[in-house]
Amino acid sequence: MPLFINRDQIFAHQVHLLEHKLRSKEERILELETENAILHLRLAECLGKLRRDHEKETKALKHHLQQRNAQKITHSALAKLLSEVQAVKQDLSELFAVYLSFSTELEEQSKQLLDKVQQASCSLKGDCGEEAQDLQAVVSALERSLEEERERCRAERQRRKELHNTLVELRGNIRVHCRVRPVLPFDHVPSSTPGSWPALSEEVVSTVSDDTVMVNCIKPGMPVHNKMYEFERVHGPEESQDAVFEEVKPLLTSLLDGYNVCIMAYGQTGSGKTHTMMGSQLLEEHSRGQQRAQPGAEQGIIPKAAAELFRMISEKPADSHTVEVSVMEVYNNEVLDLLAKDAQGNPVEQRCDVITTSNGASQVIALKYQPVRDASEVMQILSRVLKLRAHCPTLVHPDSSRSHLIVTLTISSKSPNALALARRLQSAKKDMQLAAQKEWWSPRCRRANLAARKSSEDHLFASTASSPSRSPSHSPCPSPRPSVSQALFKTKLQLVDLAGSESVGMSGVSGAALWEVSCINRSLSALSDVLGALAEQRPHVPYRNSKLTHLLQDAIGGDAKLLVMLCVSPTQRYVTESLQSLGFGTRARQVQKELPRRKGNPLKVK
C-alpha cells in the first residue's frame, strides 16, 4: 500500500524548526549584548579608577617635590646658621685669649706695684709721701681694672659655653656618626658558586663626602641601585682613630657643663665597634694576656675620652672634681657587674637589678663604683675586666663579643658653675612637682594645704641659693630625699660597646651560643623599637622590653647628649647587615629629645 506524505505538514514542521532556531539565536544575541554592556561598564570603571590613580600620583609627586624644596631651603639655612655660629665661636675664642693675656699682664703689673709700695713704705717708715700715694692709687686702679676684666672674661666664658651647646644641639638631638671600616683579610671569602656576580669581597659601601655614605645594591639580573644616607659625620676607611675622636671630643666639654653624655657604638659583628671604642692594641693585650702602653694613635674613644676628661679636670681648681668608674655587661638579658669581687678579692659574677626611681631615672642596684685619679687607672681597670667579658668564636669573627659593655665615668663636682647649678635647681624643681603629683600621704605625716606646700618650695629654693648647707626643715612634711645642696653635683659619661647584630645562618653557632645570638638580636630590636617610638612621638615608649634599653633609658630619652657611632662593613658579603645598621641610624636621627610635655599628659614608660 503506497505511503502518502502531506507536504503541508512537512513544510510546517520545517517552519517550526526554523522558528525554534531563530528564537535560540535571538536569545544568544541578547546574552551577548548583555555581556557587552557589562564589559563596557567595567571598562568605564577601570578607566575612571586609572584616571583617579593618575591624579593621586600627580598630587603625590607635586607634594614630594615641594617637600624636597622645603628640605633644601631648611638645610641651606641651617648650614648658614652653623657657619655663623662657628664664626662667632672662633671670634669669642680669640677674644677670650686676648682677655686672658691682658689679665695676666695686669696681675704682673699689680704685683710689681705692690712690691714697690711695700718697699716705699718700708723706706719711709710709715711716712707716706706723695710717691707712695700715687703708687697706691695706681695699684687700686689696676686692681679695679683687673676685676672688671675678670668679670668680662667670666661673661665671655659663659657665652662661649652657651654657643657651644647651641652648636651641638643644632647638629641634631641624637648625633649619628658613621664609620666604614677598610677591607680586611677575612673579607676575602670564595663564593659558593664560582663565577657568580657580584663577588662577596667586592666593596659596595663607600663614603661620598664627610656626611654622606653610598651603598651599591647589586642584584643579579637587576640594574645597580644606589642608596644614599646622610649623617652628621661619615668617616672613611682611611681616617685614623684621632680623626674619629676629634669629632667626638666636643661632647666632653658639655660633660663638665652639667650634661650627661653617652657615646654608643652600633653595628654588626666584625664591623669595628670594639676597635673604635677600645683601640686595636688594647684588644691584642686582652687576647695575649699582656699589659703594655699603647700609642695614642691606636687608642679608641674610651682611652682618649678618659685622657681628655682628666686633662680638662686638671685645669679646674684642685680637688673640685672626683671621678668614679663602673663597668657592666648585659649578657643574655642580665646585667652583670664586672667590678664585683668576693671577700678574697677575686672577681665574682654578680647580677644586678635595674629599677626606675621616683623621678623617672634608671638606677642599677648594688653596682660597684671604683674611684680613679687618672686615665691610666681607667685603662688598668678596662684591661682587667675585658678578660671577664663574654666572648665566643663565630664564622664571622674569631673573638666575637657576646655581651653589651657599658663603661660609666661618674664625675662629682664640689663647685658647680652657674650653668650646672641652674640645671641642678631645675631638676630639683621637677622632682618636687613629681612628688606633689603623686601625693604621698602617711598616717604619721599629714601634708599641709596647697599654700603651705608652695611656701615650702619657695623656702627650699631660697635656702639652696643662699646657703648650700641648709635643708628645708620648715617643710610640713620633710621629704626623705636629701636637699639639692647637700649632695654633690654628678654627671655621667657612658661609653657603650654594643654586641654585634648577626643572623644565625651567617654566625654558624649552635647550642648555648644560639641563645646568646637570640638575646643579642632581641635587645638590639628593643633598642630599635624605643628609637622608633621616640621618633614617632608615641605616648608609650617600651624601655622595659629589654634590660639594655631600661639601663640606657636616661641616655636615650632623657636630657643626655647621645652620639651613636655606626660601624659598617664595606663588602657585598655583609650588605644586608650594613643596610640594617644604616636604617637604624636614620631612625635615630629622627628622634627629637627634650620635647615640651604637658603636665597632665606625661609620657608613659613601661
Binding residue numbers = 267-274
Residue with grid cell 645594591, as numbered in its chain: 217
* Crossing angle of helices 375-385 and 301-314, rounded to 10°: 150
Q: Which of 313, 343, 339, 335 is nearest to 326 (CA)?
A: 339
Q: How far apart are CA 160 and CA 163, in angstroms?
A: 5
Annotated binding site for ATP: 267-274
Q: How far apart are CA 526 and CA 544, in angstroms?
A: 9
Q: How far apart are CA 146 and CA 159, in angstroms?
A: 20
Burial class of 490 by CB neighbour count within 10 A (0 to 12, 13 to 18, 19+): middle
H-state helical runs in 552-606? 553-557, 575-589
Would you state the cell numbers that stand for residue 379, as one nine-digit string? 685603662
What b/e string do you get for 102-119 counting C-beta neighbours within 10 Å, with b at 16 or more?
ebeebeeebeebeeebee
Residue with grid cell 615641594, as numbered in its chain: 66
Q: Can you point out the beta strands (E) in 130-203?
A: 174-180
Residues 552 and 407: beta-carbon distance below 8 Å: no
Q: How far apart are CA 314 and CA 299, in angstroms?
A: 21
Residues 290 and 448: beta-carbon distance below 8 Å: no
Would you state the cell numbers that stand for residue 382, as one nine-digit string? 678596662
Would you state the cell numbers that stand for residue 265, as one nine-digit string? 657604638
Instruction: Give the chain's end-to-end CA distance (angstroms, integer).
Output: 111
Q: Which of 275, 274, 387, 256 is nearest to 323 (CA)?
A: 256
Q: How far apart are CA 81 and CA 85, in angstroms?
A: 6
User: DSSP letters along 182-218, please?
Assistant: PP-GGG----SSTT-SS-TTSB-EEEEETTEEEEEE-
Residues 248 and 539: beta-carbon distance below 8 Å: no
Would you state the cell numbers that stand for residue 548, as one nine-digit string? 639594655
* Crossing angle of helices 241-248 and 301-314, rounded to 10°: 50
Q: How far apart are CA 280 and CA 267, in angstroms?
A: 17
Amino acid at 84: E
What b/e string do you get for 563-599 counting C-beta neighbours within 10 Å, with b at 16 or more?
bbbbbbbbbbbbbebbbbbbebbbbbbebebeeeeee
Measure Cα distances from 100 to 104, 107, 225, 289 in Å.
Answer: 6, 11, 56, 48
